[in-house]
Amino acid sequence: MALKIFHTADLHLGLTHSKHPSEIAGKLAEGRFETLASMIALAGEKRADLFVMGGDLFDTTRVSKKLVIRAAGLFSSFEGQVLILPGNHDYVTGEDDDLWKTFKEHAGDRVRVLDTPEVSFIEELSLALYPAPCRKRHSSEPVTGWIASAPKSKDARYHLGLAHGSFEGLSPDLAGDHFPMKKEPLLSAGLDLWLMGHIHLQFPKTPGAYDRIFYPGTPEPDGFDCRHEGTAWFLTLGEDKSIQAERISTGRYRFIREELAINSLDELREGLKKYSDPSYQQVLMDLIVTGTLPREQFDQVGPELARIADSFMSLRTLTSGLEIRLTPDEIRKEFPEGSFALRLLNLLSEKEQDHEALQIAYQTIRSLKTGGAKS
């Protein structure tokens, strides 16, 4: 019987999103719970044997008890086994570990917190587990060292490693203090599959049947430096130890940054049309508008953008790259007859192809004027 695994990590429940206004921050925090609930439901629909959280279920070791109990309760609807690995954000703190003690008390019998680096078994799945839980926030030593020399029980058909940390060549870990791991030692440990966490991007990009190391990516993006969708893996480990990997798209919210280059109000309206799609209600959007417009159209850009604000969960517009298109009339109004500025700008405006040069010259002259006024 093949082993079916729903694999996620890095949900960071309890992340506060404090850079956002409180109403938005509240929705984003709630979205993480909604994403967990929908992943558990999907894992159930797909009849997964295992639901695996590869670390950082929680954002810190100090999240509220209420939040921990709520999270633990969500797993009760899953009929398979749940494996939770403590990551470097929700690491095991030791004897007085409130976080995982509370979690275990409120999670059902089918939920295992893999908080000890030792082999354990799930007999009904013929499965041996080799976990590498984090015991602190930072470390230059991965916790996987013991696994290579651990005896591999002949009684289990499947051997799974679970670890949390950076991976050589995949993620920037400049200080090397995020439990840095390398491909070769993991592969030579003799396991069938490594279920990882920590890196918020999915890996491998195009999985082959004999890839052994999987990062699911974060299931719920957390900001504008994480502008991809949420992801997870649904992995089928065959009796022949081949792996079939299905990409799962997850996540309640998205952070998207788009640039709209326009030269008329019509182009702006055309470009904004697609945002009427209801899916943008779950999007926090950075919209960058650039280009040049005649003055009377330029003044309409603000109202046009204000009109689409409700299409998004939140909209930030950046229009500093948008300029008024200069005409000989505009130039005459602004600069005195016979001045150097007027002569230069007129010269440039006569040539259609020098429009960009004209805009640059105009901006430069204006900035010099402003600079002069200040001094």
**Site residues (vs Mn ion, CB under 5 A):** 56, 87-88, 198
What is the torsional sign of CA 347, 348, 349, 350? positive
Give the residues across from 127 on adjacent strands: 122, 158
- Closest distance of CB 95 from Mn ion, Å: 23
Please say which residue, 198 or 252, places its beta carbon nearer to Mn ion. Answer: 198
Please say which residue, 87 or 219, places its beta carbon nearer to Mn ion. Answer: 87
Please say which residue, 197 or 291, places its beta carbon nearer to Mn ion. Answer: 197
203: DSSP letter: B
The Cα angle at residue 35 between residues 34 and 41, in degrees rounded to 5:
90
For the chain, how are helix, strand and coil distributed in percent, rounded to 5? 35, 25, 40
Please say which residue, 87 or 207, places its beta carbon nearer to Mn ion. Answer: 87
Q: Look-up: residue for tokens 């095991």?
A: 92
Residue type, 277: D
Q: How far apart are CA 147 and CA 145, in angstroms?
A: 6
Please say which residue, 8 or 349, places its beta carbon nearer to Mn ion. Answer: 8
**Spacing of C-alpha 251 from chain mean position:** 9
Question: Is the bond preceding 204 in cis, omega lying within 30 degrees of 0?
Answer: yes
**Closest residue by beta carbon to Mn ion:** 198
Phi–psi pair at 246, nearest 5 degrees: -110, 130
- Closest distance of CB 234 from Mn ion, Å: 22
- Closest distance of CB 11 from Mn ion, Å: 11
- Closest distance of CB 169 from Mn ion, Å: 17
- Closest distance of CB 13 from Mn ion, Å: 13
Give the residues across from 58 on adjacent strands: 13
Please say which residue, 213 or 285, places its beta carbon nearer to Mn ion. Answer: 213
Q: Which of 257, 268, 269, 317 is nearest to 291 (CA)?
A: 268
Q: How far apart are CA 165 and CA 196, in angstroms?
A: 8
229: DSSP letter: P
Please say which residue, 87 or 230, places its beta carbon nearer to Mn ion. Answer: 87
- Closest distance of CB 87 from Mn ion, Å: 5
- Closest distance of CB 99 from Mn ion, Å: 15
